[in-house]
Amino acid sequence: MKLVHLSDLHFPVVLPFMTLKGKMIPGYMNYTFRRMRKYPISLWDAIVRKIQSLDPDSIIISGDITNISHLKEYEEALKILKPVLGDKTFMVPGNHDRYTNIAAGKKGTDLPYYEKFFSPWMGESVPLQNGYLRIKKIGKLALVGWDSNMPLSVLNAYGYVGEEIVHSTLEYLEKEKLDHYILICHHPIWNPPERQESSGHKMKNREEIAELLKKRPPLAYLHGHVHTNWVKYPGPQKPYYVINSASSTRISDQRHQSGFHLLEWNETQFNIKRFSFSNKEGEFTETQTISYEEKETNGR
């Protein structure tokens, strides 16, 4: 089974300035002057070509398809993503997709924008009293989606997943007799020593979540949020792969080794390949995987 993992696509959409309100204004200014040029749409076109050649069994997107959750960004993202949307696709939102209260469904009775535009590719919603849990079954594998995002001040981008979501996830897997699952969430549950996050950027309670997951560990935890690739091998504290494919559509530089991963699973083990954009070939090509062993004193 082959799975492509993409994240933090941040599609370059030009927005009418007069339609911006509140935190959208500084957010869009930051994007326009610091980020937009780093996300040429040509990289997305190259990703589509590579996905078509790989012919995966599933395409997983772990959030941040937009920049400030503007309605026009969602309309354009739906058009741009069309070549990869189908029965194989599984998506979860990122913090930029829940950037404002209205986009997150916190005002009025409307659906959140992410659900409004992409619900067909977000998996089956498991009914809960409070919280987000989505499941998609691909053969003998279950894809489990969590939402760690919420509207915050312009200076914050942290995440949080309630412990009750973890309990509900493990109960559902037990009830449905789903032995093999991959967990997809936007915020990391582990970072390399040199890629630690501030309290305003990381998932607040990730060590508590990781402790609960030991009862029934996933095969892998897929995420984005930090815009450089890595793979952590299973270790004593987190006995599963932690795979970051952010930012798949960003031009690489000294601090951001960008690209995406292909996971090949034969029901006993994973083979993980990394693809990054080659300026010479104008295509995504297989390149060295950036991997780490878990150490108890690092990456927490």
Domain boundaries, the chain: 2-292
Nearest-5° angle of CA 272, CA 275, CA 278? 160
What is the full per-residue pLDDT of the chain (300 aa) written as tens digits? Answer: 999 999 999 999 999 999 999 999 999 998 898 888 999 999 999 999 999 999 999 999 999 999 999 999 999 999 999 999 999 999 999 999 999 999 999 876 689 999 999 999 999 999 887 889 999 999 999 999 999 999 999 999 999 999 999 999 999 999 999 999 999 999 999 999 999 999 999 999 999 999 999 999 999 999 999 999 999 999 999 999 999 999 999 999 989 999 999 999 999 899 999 999 999 999 999 999 999 998 754 444
Nearest-5° angle of CA 190, CA 191, CA 197? 110
pTM for this entry: 0.96
Cβ contacts of 259-262, under 8 Å, gap ≥ 24? 259/229, 259/284, 259/287, 260/4, 260/5, 260/6, 260/7, 260/47, 260/229, 260/284, 261/4, 261/5, 261/229, 261/231, 261/289, 262/2, 262/3, 262/4, 262/5, 262/54, 262/56
Name the 3-class secondary structure at 110. coil
Q: How far apart are CA 190 and CA 185, in angstroms?
A: 12
Question: What pLDDT was estimated at residue 295?
Answer: 77
Strand 134-138 versus strand 124-125 pairing type:
antiparallel
Question: What pLDDT was estimated at residue 108?
Answer: 65
Q: Is the CB of residue 94 less than 8 Å from the CB of residue 62?
A: yes
Question: What pLDDT was estimated at residue 283?
Answer: 97
Q: How far apart are CA 243 and CA 225, in angstroms?
A: 11
Domain made up of 2-292: CATH architecture? 4-Layer Sandwich (3.60)
